[in-house]
Structure 1
Amino acid sequence: MEELLKEIELRRTSFKTDGYSMSIGELVNLYENNEIIIRPEYQRLFRWSHGQKVKLIESIILGIPVPSIFVYQDDNGIWELVDGLQRVSTILQLFGVLKDTEPLELEGTKHIPSLEGFKWDNDDKDKELPSGLKLAIKRAKINLTIILSDSDKRAKFEVFQRLNTGGSNASNQEVRNNVMLMIKPEVYTWFNGLATNTDFLETLSLSDRLYDEQYHMELLLRFIALAHYDYNHKKDVGDYLDDINEDLLNNDTLDFAGIKANFDLTFSTLNSILGEKAFKKYNGTDFKGKFLESSYEAVSIGLSNNITTYNLPLENNIILNKIQNLYAEEVYNQTSGSGSNAKSRIPKLVPFAKAYFSK
């Protein structure tokens, strides 16, 4: 009991926050004075539809409370937006001050159909928001939670992750990507460079929806984890990938260049041999069907573990034969059949694949 209370008290003291209520007009002024920072990378990762933006403005006009904004205060008193990106960006876009973005043009809604075509400032004065309504919007209050600078240095990461996992529209990988940006942007730049590798993308054959959800980046993290780390079978795969994501950010001795070289060679080889068929099941005559996670894990990890032992590209045919014959292997079929899941599959499939692809 004493140890439990000690742990709780220790963690509580690492999160120092303050609550603050300000007008929307004040928030806009802070942005224009560079006293609140929105990293442009966040805007590229999270985007609301036009309808979602208009719905927020409608809520403000109708006096419906807007959820709190979370900011991190640095040693100079500057605020960095941690959560609430789209709410703040939408407000700034309405006012016409959001950098590199056209001013927001509203559309009619269920409750205010006459909003159609209105802007904050408009050459067509008949479609410019009335001055009284502008004042009401400027004076509307928004609540902020400020993570103070003397909090634990990882506090903003913890807050962001907990606010954006479980019941949110953000995928787990989108959250991990933003954590990278918060903690160590140079690691995100390295990671994103791998994720945009042409050979890698051409072998995946994913839907647009899965790309939007950053699934290809989760597959990249899965490759790095299974090829260069021991698998923790006691954890769910998502928690295991969170741990690997954290190690990428904190391990100063990690061989980033070596990981990249192995990744580049593995996927350039697979793309040259099979292209978009690389992770589809072989039916005896051709590779058909959809992308398979089990195939991705077996082929990419098995090959990467042995890639330097092959005389490439002269022995590409040997690799092709191994991939074709993989789908007749008992271990592959036992671990990748219906009802299988990654937590139970990976501890058996990955060691098998590493041995199977050896020369």
Structure 2
Amino acid sequence: MGLQEEIDKTRQEIRTDGYSMSIGELISLYENNEINIYPEFQRFFRWSDYQKSAFIESILLGIPIPPIFVSQRDDGVWDVIDGLQRLSTIYEFVGVKQKNSEQESYFALQATTYLPSLKDKKWNDSQDPYNSLTMSQRLLIKRGKMTLNIIEKESDKMIKYELFQRLNTGGSIATPQEVRNCILLMLNPGLYNLMRSLADRESFKSCIALSDRLFEEQYDMELVLRFILLFDRDDDSLKQLGGDVSEFLTTRMREMAIKDDLDNRHIERAFDLTFDTLNESLGDNSFKRYRQEEDRFLGGFLLSAYEVIALGIGYNYKNPLPLVDIPNCVKSIWSHQIYQKWSGAGVNAARRLPYLIPLGREVFSR
């Protein structure tokens, strides 16, 4: 199929519509459960109170707002693909978005560049009328317009996930794994919950010993995903990873999410044996650099070590080595010629994985 045929075919698979709606109409849609903003995504979006205030300022001043992207489901409800934080800010400010606690106070704005008097202003607090917007100001917001781009339900079912990924990568979500988490929540909440459960295992957290920042950025979930996708992958497919492991993780995760025959028990047993074994034998030294001359582990978590050690033990989980052999096997990796050649600076993941993963399988086999 030539380029033009590919363009024509794919364009036919994407059906879209678009028009302007008032913010008041968007509030009504939310109140009537006709638009879904995926509340589970909130942990992956990190607008500060000032960013929220600046957004309300933009509405009041009539500054154009980027369009909202939604996907129409079979039941007619719109799933928000891009614009969740903008809509969430509106719903939170006007008081229709559910709060985490009944004791939470109304959302108060901060002073902004052009409207410093927004400081401490609320939507309409009967207990604090002085700091509430006037009726005129509230109507100004409700009559503000936002453009919606709608992917209609007749479109290819994977289009909205592709669009979500493209719109949010490098945007208000900080990391590729946070984008993957959102896609997974839309595609297969059960698989997301399995991954979250594995990431919360105490043995796993103890072994990887990540910084608070990396936990916040969901790097623990990326490590779980790497384990699930790679621990039992055959050697031939490892050689076909291509040049972008991040894209590989996203593509294979999406494929896994729509499978009907995923063996969760197989995954859990391999994962638990791997990290229970490592936690008992090495703890937070599991993926640190080993210095033979000093006979000690130094530094922090190393992904290349994880790729050899965790994936090697996981591959052999049905016939594991005795626990007492694990420390010496781990130490032996650091002087191994293959590891030294393929784990150094300048060797990207796509090039090293076809060598490091088989090395781990060999080292941790009986």
The corresponding residue for 2:230 is: 226
**Residues 1:271 and 2:275 aligned together:** no
Cα separation, 2, equivalents of 1:234 and 1:117: 52
Cα separation, 2, equivalents of 1:214 and 1:44: 10
Identical counterparts, % of pairs: 46
SS state at 2:231 partner: helix
SS state at 1:228 partner: coil
The 5 Å alignment of 1:95-174 reads 95-101=94-100, 102=104, 103-122=106-125, 123-166=127-170, 169-174=173-178
SS state at 1:309 partner: coil
Cα separation, 2, equivalents of 1:238 and 1:202: 25
Please identify, of 91-100 and 178-187, the stretch whose mean Cα deviation from structure 2 is larger: 178-187
Query: How many angstroms does 1:306 deviate by?
Result: 2.0
The 5 Å alignment of 1:27-46 reads 27-46=26-45
The 5 Å alignment of 1:38-117 reads 38-101=37-100, 102=104, 103-117=106-120
SS state at 1:282 partner: strand
What residue ranges of structure 1 are gaps of 5+ in the alignment?
none
The corresponding residue for 1:281 is: 289
Contact 2:47/2:172 (<8 A) preserved:
no
**Residues 1:253 and 2:261 aligned together:** yes
SS state at 1:71 partner: strand
Query: How many angstroms does 1:92 deviate by?
Result: 0.4
Cα separation, 1, equivalents of 2:36 and 2:347: 45
Root-mean-square deviation over aligned CA pairs: 1.6
Contact 2:45/2:172 (<8 A) preserved:
no
Question: 1:82-118: per-residue Cα shift (whole Å, max 9, x none)?
Answer: 2111100000011011012543210112221111111
SS state at 2:17 partner: strand
Question: 1:236-293: per-residue Cα shift (whole Å, max 9, x none)?
Answer: 1112112220221122223221011111111111111111111001113221101101
Question: 1:125-161: per-residue Cα shift (whole Å, max 9, x none)?
Answer: 1111122111111111011111111111112111111
Cα separation, 2, equivalents of 1:133 and 1:168: 28
SS state at 1:146 partner: strand
Query: How many angstroms does 1:41 deviate by?
Result: 1.2
Query: How many angstroms does 1:324 deviate by?
Result: 1.5
> In 2 relative to 1, CA 152–86 (structure 1 residues): closer, same or farther, beyond 3 Å?
same
Structure 1 stretches of at least 4 aligned residues deviating more than 6 Å after TM superposition: none
Contact 2:343/2:352 (<8 A) preserved:
yes
Cα separation, 1, equivalents of 2:243 and 2:232: 17
TM-score, normalised by the number of residues in structure 2: 0.93
What residue ranges of structure 2 are gaps of 5+ in the alignment?
none
Question: 1:41-98: per-residue Cα shift (whole Å, max 9, x none)?
Answer: 1123323221211111111112111111111112232112121111000000110110
**Residues 1:336 and 2:340 aligned together:** no
Cα separation, 1, equivalents of 2:9 and 2:195: 33
Contact 2:30/2:36 (<8 A) preserved:
yes
**Residues 1:211 and 2:215 aligned together:** yes
Amino acid across the alignment from 1:160: F
**Residues 1:350 and 2:357 aligned together:** yes
Cα separation, 1, equivalents of 2:291 and 2:181: 36
Query: How many angstroms does 1:22 deviate by?
Result: 0.7
Question: 1:14-54: per-residue Cα shift (whole Å, max 9, x none)?
Answer: 11111010111111111111111222211233232212111
The 5 Å alignment of 1:297-308 reads 297-308=307-318
Cα separation, 2, equivalents of 1:55 and 1:351: 52
Cα separation, 1, equivalents of 2:171 and 2:120: 33
Cα separation, 2, equivalents of 1:224 and 1:33: 39
Amino acid across the alignment from 1:118: K
The corresponding residue for 1:18 is: 17
Query: How many angstroms does 1:166 deviate by?
Result: 4.6
Query: How many angstroms does 1:308 deviate by?
Result: 3.0
SS state at 2:18 partner: strand
The corresponding residue for 1:291 is: 301
Query: How many angstroms does 1:167 deviate by?
Result: 5.6
Cα separation, 1, equivalents of 2:179 and 2:4: 30
Please identify, of 144-153 and 181-190, the stretch whose mean Cα deviation from structure 2 is larger: 181-190
The corresponding residue for 2:333 is: 326
1:244 equivalent among 234, 237, 252 = 252
Cα separation, 1, equivalents of 2:7 and 2:172: 26
Cα separation, 2, equivalents of 1:280 and 1:199: 16
Contact 2:47/2:85 (<8 A) preserved:
yes
Cα separation, 2, equivalents of 1:85 and 1:228: 36
> In 2 relative to 1, CA 341–235 (structure 1 residues): closer, same or farther, beyond 3 Å?
closer
SS state at 2:318 partner: helix
Query: How many angstroms does 1:168 deviate by?
Result: 5.5
SS state at 2:69 partner: strand
SS state at 1:143 partner: strand
